Amino acid sequence: MTSLRRALQNALPLAEHACGSDTLRFFGSQEAHRKAASPETPLMHYKATQQATSSINHRIFYVNVVAMVLVYDLGSSMLDF
């Protein structure tokens, strides 16, 4: 346990130099645990933009194509024509 504590004490100055002391102070304090986890816009009031829905539909289309090819291939392998 003491070797772990010593390693952490040696690593702390390096982490402060790399991240900045403000970042470590924020995440090391209880302030990070008091922040609300809820999104700023509640999901029931969220309205997706047209570009976002087009992107989602485009991705779902390719998932459907792959699923249909898989079903066709599996069905063809099971049935003897």
Domain count, the chain: 2
Residue 40 lies in a domain: no
Copy the structure tokens of residue 68.
Answer: 């249909």
**Using CA atoms, how far apart are residues 5 and 21, in angstroms rounded to an integer?**
20
Q: What is the domain range of residue 4?
A: 1-34
| pLDDT value, residue 65 | 96
| pLDDT value, residue 39 | 60
Residue 39 lies in a domain: no
Per-residue pLDDT tens, the chain, 81 aa: give them.
678 778 777 777 776 666 655 555 555 555 555 666 666 667 677 788 899 889 888 889 999 999 999 999 999 999 876
| pLDDT value, residue 16 | 67
Copy the structure tokens of residue 34.
Answer: 């008091």
